Structure 1
Amino acid sequence: MRMLNEQELRFLMDIKGKPIAIFLFTPLCGTCKVARRMLEVVEQLLPEDTLSTADVNMMPQVAQDYQIKSVPALMLMDADRSHPPRIRYRMGSVEELLDVIRSVP
């Protein structure tokens, strides 16, 4: 997973053409570490550059703009960016995460 800063995240969100998933975390969050391990497995089964990661501590404006309520969170954006991003807080299982990410049009 590629780590994004705020500028890179906003740029990626503006590019249309393929769906993206962004794992939002904080470094001291234990649940985030478990979710990251699951997403590292998921990443191996997805097209390259589908999944990125971002530390919400470093981008408070993004957290505010998209009303991120807690971490870990997964921000899902469709390919044509016609809908606002979906935010998923429940990480569940590797299979569930893979299904959720693949379901983004």
Structure 2
Amino acid sequence: MEKATKDMLQADHYILFIHSPFCGTCQLARSMLHQIEEVHQQDIFLEMNASLHPSFMQENKIESVPCLCIKDQGQIKEKVYVFHSIANIYHILLQYERKLFVNSH
């Protein structure tokens, strides 16, 4: 996972993992996202420590952590607060990151 910068947050598309370092549920969610990135051997998610970005949290009405904040076509399309399973995260990725599932052969 790559730490989100101001420039990255200006992009029209991203999937941002918002967390707090002392949140146990956030650590579990991070583990799931890390496993997905390892399978695809690439950074898929940006990450942000919620406590270091209070204005972003307020402007985007982020209610709690962990949160997977999905921006597509310049707008926040979805905020996922419950990470049920890796399969559930893949279901979300299938909607927003279809290129991960296209065979490049």
Question: Shift of residue 46 of structure 1?
Answer: 4.6
Distance 2:8 2:55 in 1: 16
More deviation in 62-71 or 39-48? 39-48
Structure 2 unpaired stretches of 5+: 98-105
Q: Displacement of 1:44 after TM fit?
A: 2.7
Cα deviation, 1:50-78, whole Å, max 9, x if unaligned, reads: 31111000000000001111100001111
Match of 2:10 in 1: 14
Higher relative contact order (CA 8 A, sep 6+): 1
Contact 1:21–1:51 (CA<8 Å) still a contact in 2?
A: yes
Identity %: 24
Task: Say which SS state the counterpart of residue 84 (structure 1) adopts.
Answer: strand
What's 1:35 paired with? 29
Q: What is the TM-score with the length of structure 2 in the denominator? A: 0.80
How many matched pairs?
A: 97
Map 1:39-78 → 2, pairs under 5 A: 39-46=33-40, 48-78=42-72
Which runs of 5 or more structure 1 residues have no equivalent in the other structure? none
Per-residue deviation, 1:47: 7.4
Contact kept, 8 Å, 1:76 with 1:101, in 2: the verdict is no
- Provide the aligned C-alpha RMSD in A: 1.8
- TM superposition outliers: structure 1 runs of 4+ over 3 Å: 45-49
From 84, 87, 104, the equivalent of 1:95 is 87
CA separation of 1:76 and 1:47: change in aligned 2, threshold 3 A: farther
Aligned to 1:2: 2
Contact 2:69 2:76 in 1 (8 A): no
Contact 1:20 / 1:51 at 8 angstroms: preserved in 2? Answer: yes
Larger radius of gyration: 2
Deviation at 1:45, TM superposition (A): 4.1
- SS where residue 16 of structure 2 aligns? strand
TM-score in terms of structure 1 length: 0.80
